[in-house]
Amino acid sequence: MRSAEPGCSPVFAAQGAWANLGVGDAYRKTSLLELCRSWLCQGLTMSAGIVLWRVLLLHRQGLLSPAELWEMTEAVAGALQRAELRLMERAELGVGAEGVGSMAASMAEVSGGLAATAETAAVTLAGLEAETVLTASAVAAMAAFAARTAAQRRVKEQLAASAKEDEHLMHLQLAWRAVLRQHPEAVIEANFLGMPISYEKVKERWPRLVETLGISEEEALRIIQMDATPLLVESDSVSEVLARLAAISSRDKALELVGRSPSLLVGGAMHKADKNMAAASLIDVLYAGRLYKVLEEEGRDNEGKLAEIELYAGLLSAFRPCVDLVLSGLTARDATDATRRLFRTLQESAPNESIRVLLGRVADADEPWSYLADQTRAGFSIGGRLALQPALTQKILPHSRPIVNHLPSIYTRLSILGPHVPSIVRILDQYLDVVEPHLDRIMERMDRIEPHLPYILLHLDVLAKHCGPLLDHFDLLLPYAELGRARPTPDLERCFDEPQIESVEACVVDNLVDDWEGAAKVEENSYLPKLLPYVDFLVPHLDELAPHLPLAHPHLPYVLPYMDDLLPYIQCFTRFPEASKNADVLVGYLGWLLRLPLIPRILYVPGVPRLVCWISKRLPRRFVRGRLERVRRRHEAEEAAAGG
């Protein structure tokens, strides 16, 4: 630990609350930013998270106002933001297309670590559950939803007393958490539209609900996690509604409607509740109060009633996220969760695959509206660049129709596609017709494809025609592209040991730029170029080879030296995945036989591949490890010499 610089008080030097936090009386009236700098110049090995931890202690003990907490949070976040802007400028000047994706991931890692530290601090200091805190800035709003926090603490204590081994109790705990998350105000007030609500009530109603629905607890839990209101009313009301729905259709149809909109089950209780006109209108809209009116309507056939209830269930399902937003206290987490649920509901009825991808990506984003804003900004940036480069624009215009057809899915990836636009435009004329049927699926996986995109675009002559099968087995194939690319991540944590906030910014920039400069070399060392010559042979057989892919992956460096000799016999082993699991053993002991004339053809004899597979499980691996490593190094040296 570095010694304190002049003007910095030693840690724990003074008495009282401030001294216990590592701050002397001299800093009692110091601005928060200066206080932070003081801590940093004392030489404490503090990450941004530790800075926030100390600030949270001050806030918890009433020594720090929310406004001051905001100031501290903004000081650290501001340094990271300035670093990001400088990194973007470096990228614009030609750090490399691959660097932009690396930068985004690295900055996200820094910001994510900062938020995670703040979240952990909040959990420890205030008893908040993890899902109620989004970022460091969200901690500043703790006082605003203290009542909600108290309810969550109480529930957490009650749930902790339950036996986690018991599957029933586990489902009950999850169901109660769903009630708490969706109806915190009702839990605090122990009242839901005139009906009592508590953990004990839910504990009684949960098994009755499962029994009434006649489904497993897992299936019932999925319904409750979608909409927990059936647990807020008495079970006999739920049973009555389900029976009446089944009477005008069938039990299966009734369960289908309930699965689509669980609020329908609350209609019976709402029908019986005493309420004024305003409450009646609210209930009709939010909790299927209209249901009983339809069921009891005379002179109307069951098909007409069922059609209206189906329509009503669909509207309730779409409208439900907005209801949750109102009922759950309007916190940032609730708004985000409600937004996700809204987009997931819309995704189910998307008119085409491109819009489905868009809605799914927004629903999966940590911050849906921020994600949309980022993509929009990226779109404007790309549009501005294209306006300055008419040659690129002219190449895009002839392909405007297929691009527009897939624009929703393309929109979801604008932030990572931007640096690659010139390279993409160059291949449109030759390959868009081949790739276009798979474009939505490509965009759906673009976050994992993007690190390899420059190489893929360069070799589309080989890869484009195999787009469909490659995407079908994408998750199994991607580890092969990643093999050999791993490199040490930049040590950004030490940047927060710097004595000044401005030094944090410079340290982050320098570390990430050094990391980017090695990106090109890492790509050259990956196994993607080494596998390219075998694509035309292997891809048509991917359906048969799929079980082998994860098993053979660890042994690829040792199999590649024998690949040309092994290729004609691969199909002989498609029914024997154990051969791939022990591929290193087989090539270590028997690989030399592949290079002898005629002898390898014995593998075509029925029964021989099974025998080889049986042998592979019994040969000791330790005797061939050294030789396999020598063969691998010699093969890679020969390839490097040939490439040079």
Summary count for the chain: helices (H), strands (E):
43, 2
pLDDT at 494: 61
pLDDT at 42: 36
User: How far does Cα 152 stand from its chain's mean position?
Assistant: 25
Tokens 């009301």 belong to residue: 237
Residues 224-274 have pLDDT tens digits of: 887 787 787 776 767 777 777 777 778 788 777 777 777 666 655 544 444
Give the largest CA-CA distance in the chain: 93
The pLDDT-based confidence of 68 (bands split at 50, 70, 90) is low
For the segment 173-191, the average pLDDT, to the nearest whole number, is: 80
For the segment 396-409, the average pLDDT, to the nearest whole number, is: 91
**Nearest to 97, CA basis, from 455, 480, 467:** 455
pLDDT at 464: 93
The pLDDT-based confidence of 322 (bands split at 50, 70, 90) is low
**Nearest to 169, CA basis, from 184, 153, 158, 154:** 158
The pLDDT-based confidence of 342 (bands split at 50, 70, 90) is confident
- Distance, in Å, from the CA atom of 629 to the CA atom of 206, rounded to the nearest integer, reads 60
CA distances from 536 to 461, 482, 532, 540 (A): 11, 20, 8, 7
With a pLDDT cut of 70, the percent of the chain lying above it is: 57
Classify residue 595 as exposed, middle or buried by CB count within 10 Å of its CB (0-12, 13-18, 19+): exposed
With a pLDDT cut of 90, the percent of the chain lying above it is: 18
485 or 174: which leads in pLDDT: 174
Query: Residue 149: is its pLDDT beyond 60?
Result: no
Among 11-20, 412-421, 590-599, which is the least confidently predicted range? 11-20
Contact 354, 408 (CB under 8 A): yes
For the segment 587-614, the average pLDDT, to the nearest whole number, is: 91
Report, in angstroms and rounded to the nearest whole number, the Rg of the chain calculated over CA atoms.
31
pLDDT at 472: 93
Residues 490-504 have pLDDT tens digits of: 555 566 555 555 666
Helix 199-213 and helix 235-248, axial crossing angle in degrees, nearest 10: 20
pLDDT at 28: 38
- Distance, in Å, from the CA atom of 513 to the CA atom of 517, rounded to the nearest integer, reads 6
Among 191-205, 332-346, 627-641, which is the least confidently predicted range? 332-346
Query: Residue 597: is its pLDDT beyond 50?
Result: yes
- Distance, in Å, from the CA atom of 312 to the CA atom of 264, rounded to the nearest integer, reads 9
**Nearest to 334, CA basis, from 492, 134, 99, 527:** 134
pLDDT at 519: 44
- Distance, in Å, from the CA atom of 65 to the CA atom of 421, rounded to the nearest integer, reads 47
Query: Residue 9: is its pLDDT beyond 60?
Result: no
The whole-model pTM stands at: 0.50
Question: According to DSSP H, which parts of 261-367 are helical?
Answer: 267-272, 277-286, 290-296, 302-327, 332-348, 353-364
Out of 301-315, 364-378, 600-614, the most confident range is 600-614
For the segment 507-515, the average pLDDT, to the nearest whole number, is: 61
The type of residue at 47 is: S
Question: According to DSSP H, which parts of 328-352 are helical?
Answer: 332-348
Among 57-71, 181-195, 607-621, which is the least confidently predicted range? 57-71
Query: Residue 351: is its pLDDT beyond 90?
Result: no
DSSP state, residue 196: E
pLDDT at 316: 60
pLDDT at 442: 94
48 or 540: which leads in pLDDT: 540
Measure the CA dihedral 601/603/608/612, to 10°: 130
Question: According to DSSP H, which parts of 464-540 are helical?
Answer: 467-472, 474-482, 501-517, 519-525, 528-531, 535-538
Neighbours of 307 (CB within 10 A): 12
